Amino acid sequence: MFKKGKVVIITGASKGIGKAISYKLAARKMNLILAARDISSLNSIKEDITNKFDCKVHIIPTDLTIEDEIKNLVEKTINKYNCIDVLINNAGVGRFARIDEFTIEDYNFIFDVNMKGLFLLTKYVVPHLIKQNSGHIINISSIAGKNGFKSGTLYSASKHAVQGFTWSLREDLKEYKIKVTTICPGSVLTEFGSKKPTHVEWSMEPEDIAHACDYLVTESPNVNTAEMIIKPRYNPRTINWENR
């Protein structure tokens, strides 16, 4: 039986996969800490969720490239609840080009969010999980962390780094009864990469990934799903999510 009223930090919660995860876990009456840079979108999501679900939602605007803001996110969560049950490192960015067309600014932009921000937030959350002797860290990686693709050198490299980080983190933390999972989605219909969503027959919906997170945070305490690779089976826009 999973713990009710879990305290869950979700990064990149203002849109896409992070937003979908927020709604999914709100239906479980979990206490949500939503982090992103876009405070306007966070406020709108909070208002909508609290109108639809019986749960608590707190928003903490956070730039994952700034260490002090990451510390603030963790400190405010602990001050509010005195625990953290689940950390979902979802925030991610991407730029795509041939390798000689990239700049050092592109490199820093991608790795500062996809790897350094994830590292720092995990670093500051882990001592609290060790103290609790419990917790679950879920890192949203990508199928690009398993395979390369044209124009994806920097993005794929950052997601391969997330994969190695996650697998080693699990070994560090399993003695403290802390679960660690990586999710590797294929293409998802979001505004990722600063592009507006477009209809791609083989893209999944953000709700597909949220559904996976819902499973993970409610799975048996006796198991730790180490990795989930999620690929589309058919056009997901035929799914009626309200009835699922």
CATH code for position 17: 3.40.50.720
Of the listed ranges 131-135, 142-146, 205-209, 233-237, the least confidently predicted one is 233-237
Would you say 146 and 100 are in contact if contact means Cβ atoms under 8 Å apart?
no
Amino acid, single-letter form, for residue 84: I
Residue 52 CB neighbour total at 10 angstroms: 11
The mean pLDDT of the chain is 91
155 belongs to the catalytic site: yes
Q: Does a structural domain hold residue 104?
A: yes
pLDDT at residue 4 greater than cutoff 50: yes
Residues sharing a CB contact under 8 Å with residue 216, sequence separation 6 or more, in sequence order: 136, 138, 181, 183, 225, 228
Helices (H), 37-97: 39-52, 67-81
| Eight-class DSSP state of 29 | T
Diameter over CA atoms, the chain: 52
pLDDT mean over 136-160: 95
Matching residue, tokens 């945070």: 217
pLDDT at residue 41 greater than cutoff 70: yes
Q: Does a structural domain hold residue 115?
A: yes
Selecting among 23, 124, 155, 215, the annotated active-site residue is 155
Residues paired with residue 32 on neighbouring β-strands, in sequence order: 8, 57
pLDDT at residue 197 greater than cutoff 60: no
Which among 22, 20, 23 is positioned nearest to 33, based on CA atoms? 22
Amino acid, single-letter form, for residue 168: S
Q: Does a structural domain hold residue 98?
A: yes
Matching residue, tokens 């690929």: 231
Look at phi and psi of residue 207 and say left if phi exceeds 0, alpha if psi is from -120 to 50, else beta: alpha
Which among 127, 116, 97, 208 is positioned nearest to 162, based on CA atoms? 116
Contacts 24+ apart (CB under 8 A), 104-112: 106/154, 107/154, 110/154, 110/155, 110/158, 111/154, 111/158, 111/161, 112/64, 112/65
pLDDT at residue 214 greater than cutoff 70: yes
Matching residue, tokens 């997901």: 236
Half-sphere exposure of 62 (CA within 13 A, CB side): 33
The pLDDT score that the predictor gives to residue 241 is 42
Q: Does a structural domain hold residue 2?
A: no
pLDDT at residue 218 greater than cutoff 50: yes
For 140-150, b/e burial (b = at least 16 CB within 10 A) is bbbbbbbeeee
Q: Does a structural domain hold residue 86?
A: yes
pLDDT at residue 114 greater than cutoff 90: yes
What is the extent of the structural domain holding 190?
A: 7-243
* Domain count for the chain: 1
Would you say 13 and 41 are in contact if contact means Cβ atoms under 8 Å apart?
no
Taking the C-alpha atoms of residue 127 and residue 239, their distance in angstroms, rounded to an integer, is 40
Q: Does a structural domain hold residue 170?
A: yes
The pLDDT score that the predictor gives to residue 187 is 83
